[in-house]
Amino acid sequence: PGESSVYLSARRDLRSHIILMCFRATIMRSRHLLREKEQKIGKGSLSCLRQEANCCCIRGVFLFHICKPSDPHFRSLSLPIPLVGPMRVEFSEPVNLDMVRKGNPQLGMGGRYKPNDCVALQKVAIIIPFRNRGEHLKYWLHYLHPILQRQQLDYGIYVIQQDGEGTFNRAKLLNVGYVEALKEYDYDCFVFSDVDIIPMDDRNTYKCSSQPRHLSVSMDKFGFRLPYKQYFGGVSAMSKEQFQKINGFPNNYWGWGGEDDDIFNRLVFQGMKISRPSGDMGKCRMIRHSRDKKNEPNPQRFRRISHTRQTMKTDGIKSLSYKVVDIEKDLLYTQITVDIGKP
């Protein structure tokens, strides 16, 4: 038989061993079997399948459909990921960004990463609205880069910094991040994350679903509970199509509050539903801080929320205006400083 028959036979044998391993939860046994297979058909072709055997059963959970092998012989397979599950997240020790850079040698400039031995199923831009939160950003980069790499995402990190000291506008910065990220790469998924929220379980995958995805469902700030059913704040994910369908985020929410509920209304009015991970898997920690200056509660937020249906077609990505002040590429992230005007 030709080489393709050998590959197909090896794949069938290996998948049988994987299924047996998952039911018995005996990872060491499968590793031994994989070593035997390597001796017969070579190491290189089994690199992604070795990962599948090592990681298909973690804490009793099957983890599939994250990436596909780069080897064309195995393109029909979807691979699981080497996750660790619940993690301890602490903010007591300072973070040294030089150490974070050394700990992530596979990163490209601008915080870009692609898996080496498989093709990610989604291209994800992670967008962070930002101003005067340097220490928070250090913690975010320290924790998130290893998580995102274990999740085998093709991703980039975009920190969108509001220029000046005027009233903060989170939603408009997120719109800017969407537009600027697409200038660099053909992203098809967008994760919008506050800089002070860190996931406590890496099975909470930062990727998009068939419905808009709310990822920060159980924050310690709220006693690890969803504060209310319509809550869509903190960390969320939308595909390019979903984002365009709602005309992006509103640009007219200056100051704290309201934009998340406006976004929820937009999704509902366009016939979409919110998907969420389980409460345990969606646990997050928030870095405690006092409210920023020039980010006081928006007194007009409730009135604006009540008019979402009337304003969503004109207020959003189609009406976005801003000026790029500076673009800085670090190994860990791309920082784009923008002038977004005033209320």
Length of the chain: 343
Q: What is the DSSP string of 32-70?
A: HHHHHHHHHH-SGGGHHHHHHHHHSEETTEE---SEEES
**Active-site option among 286, 296, 330, 339:** 286
142 is known as an active-site residue: no
Q: Is residue 254 annotated as part of the catalytic site, yes or no?
A: no
Strand partners, 198: 285
Q: Establish whether 188 is a catalytic residue.
A: no
| 236 DSSP assignment | E
In the set 24, 35, 225, 289, the catalytic residue is 289
Catalytic hit among 194, 261, 262, 315: 194
Handedness of CA 9, 11, 16, 20 (dihedral sign): positive
- Active-site option among 90, 98, 186, 291: 291
User: Which among 52, 202, 259, 261 is annotated as catalytic?
Assistant: 259
**Strand partners for 235:** 193
What gap in Å lies between CA 336 and CA 172, rounded to an integer? 13
Residue 154 known to be catalytic: no
Given the residues 201, 260, 261, 262, the one annotated as active site: 260
Closest by CA to 198, choosing from 113, 286, 326, is: 286
140 is catalytic: no
180 is catalytic: no
CA distance 157 to 8: 38
What is the DSSP code string of 123-173?
EEEEEEEESS-HHHHHHHHHHHHHHHHHTT-EEEEEEEEEPSSS---HHHH
Indicate the angle between helix axes 27-41 and 47-55, nearest 10 degrees: 170
- 73 catalytically annotated: no
Q: Clarify whether 259 is annotated catalytic.
A: yes
Q: Is 118 helix (H, G, I), strand (E, B) or coil?
A: strand
Q: Which of 154, 180, 196, 202 is catalytic?
A: 196
Query: Which of 126, 156, 96 has the alpha carbon at shortest distance from 235?
Result: 126
What residues contact residue 72 under an 8 Å CB cut-off, 6+ apart? Answer: none
Choose the catalytic residue: 29, 163, 256, 280. 256
Q: Point out the residues that are catalytic.
A: 194, 196, 256, 259-260, 286, 289, 291
